[in-house]
């Protein structure tokens, strides 16, 4: 059969674990087309279909399951061995975070960090997939959730809050209503349907229907900035639009989102000198954000 096709096996194992070709391609920093090409080559090599499309992505065929059971653990062992042998650059820190958090919170603060630590290089990996510290060369991540993830250290950064916002032109036309009258305005449906929690907490009546329903928070914020209606915005992500004058808070009241931002890292990062500096700076920035 010739040389062992480790790149094809890695593509297969990643796709089998994530059960989604798009997410697998993102995790491997490939295009979906390139990942699919590797899969086809491997299937031609073994003479069997290994993955089949299912209702929720891709599923292992019986032959694929047998191959996965045989190669996944040895492949992990190879990756772990390479990580232990690799020389770590103490002046480069790899940070993983979701794109919206990178754009809205981290990037505006980067000039201050780079001015303070010109000797450090910060490698940002912006992705929606949850980093696997065992398999990926990532030193630290910013995560949103409850703060409990197995096998990693997590430190609280700050709470996430929700508040109604609208464009300045919208406010000029409609005014800032009393809390009890907020439901009379054109409201934009948020991805998690948190308006019901807002009205339960602060009073008033939810509308019979929302002007438009959104399944993406960034798009929701942009629609509010365009004057489409009132959004129940996430404070962290809406902050740049508020600073730029494109959104206005309609009230000083805030609703706890029920989750928070955390600094997450594996134990191996604790002896990384560059990580310690990045960690201190992030905790400092988080403290200022939470005030």
Give tens-digit pLDDT for 147-177.
Answer: 989 889 999 999 999 999 999 999 999 988 8
* 61 and 95 together in one domain: no
Q: What is the pTM of this model?
A: 0.68
What CATH number does residue 39 fall under?
A: 1.10.10.10
Q: For the ranges 71-80, 259-268, 270-279, which has the lowest average pLDDT?
A: 71-80
**Structural domain total, the chain:** 2
Question: Residue 82: which residues within 8 A CB-CB, separation 6 or more?
Answer: none
Question: Mean pLDDT over residues 211-239, rounded?
Answer: 94
For residues 110 and 43, state if they share a domain.
no
Confidence check: pLDDT of 221 > 50? yes
Structural domain of residue 81, as residue ranges? 6-85
CATH code of residue 180:
3.40.190.290
> What are 83-104's pLDDT values in tens digits?
654 545 678 899 999 998 999 9
| 120 in a structural domain | yes
CA distance 28 to 125: 12
- Pairwise CA distance, residues 290 & 236, whole Å: 10
Residue 68 confidence (pLDDT) above 90:
yes
Structure tokens at 10: 């890695």
Q: What is the pLDDT of residue 166?
A: 97
User: Can you tell me the distance from the alpha carbon of 34 to that of 30, in angstroms, rounded to the nearest whole number?
Assistant: 6
| 80/17 same-domain check | yes
Regarding whether 96 and 81 lie in a shared domain, the answer is no
Domain end position, chosen among 36, 64, 85: 85
Q: Looking at residues 234-245, what average pLDDT do you find?
A: 93
Instruction: Return the number of other C-beta atoms located less than 10 Å from residue 66's C-beta.
Output: 13
Listed range (6-10, 116-120, 134-138, 227-231) with the worst mean pLDDT: 134-138
If asked whether residues 61 and 106 sit together in one domain, one would say no
117 and 223 co-located in one domain: yes
């Amino acid at each position: 059969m010739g040389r062992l096709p480790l790149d094809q096996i890695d593509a297969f194992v990643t796709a089998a674990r994530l059960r989604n070709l798009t997410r697998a391609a993102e995790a491997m920093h490939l295009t979906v087309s390139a990942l699919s090409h590797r899969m086809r080559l491997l299937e031609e090599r073994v003479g069997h279909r290994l993955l089949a499309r299912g209702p929720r992505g891709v599923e292992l065929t019986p032959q694929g399951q047998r191959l996965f059971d045989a190669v996944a653990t040895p492949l992990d062992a190879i990756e772990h061995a390479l990580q232990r042998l690799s020389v770590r650059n103490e002046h480069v820190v790899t940070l993983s975070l979701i794109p919206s958090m990178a754009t809205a919170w981290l990037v505006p603060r980067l000039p201050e960090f780079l001015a303070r630590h010109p000797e450090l290089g910060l490698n940002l990996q912006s992705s929606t997939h949850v980093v696997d510290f065992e398999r990926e060369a990532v030193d630290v991540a910013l995560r949103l959730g409850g703060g409990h993830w197995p096998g990693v250290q997590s430190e609280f950064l700050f709470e996430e809050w929700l508040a109604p916002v609208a464009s300045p032109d919208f406010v000029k036309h409609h005014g800032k209503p009393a809390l009890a009258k907020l439901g009379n305005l054109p409201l934009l449906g948020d991805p998690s349907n948190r308006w019901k929690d807002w009205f339960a907490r602060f009073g008033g009546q939810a509308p019979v229907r929302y002007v438009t329903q959104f399944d993406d928070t960034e798009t929701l914020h942009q629609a509010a900035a365009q004057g489409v209606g009132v959004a129940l915005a996430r404070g962290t992500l809406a902050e740049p639009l508020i600073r730029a004058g494109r959104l206005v808070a309609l009230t000083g009241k805030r609703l706890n989102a029920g989750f928070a931002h955390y600094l997450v890292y594996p134990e191996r990062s604790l002896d990384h000198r560059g990580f310690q500096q990045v960690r201190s700076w992030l905790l400092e920035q988080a403290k200022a954000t939470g005030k």
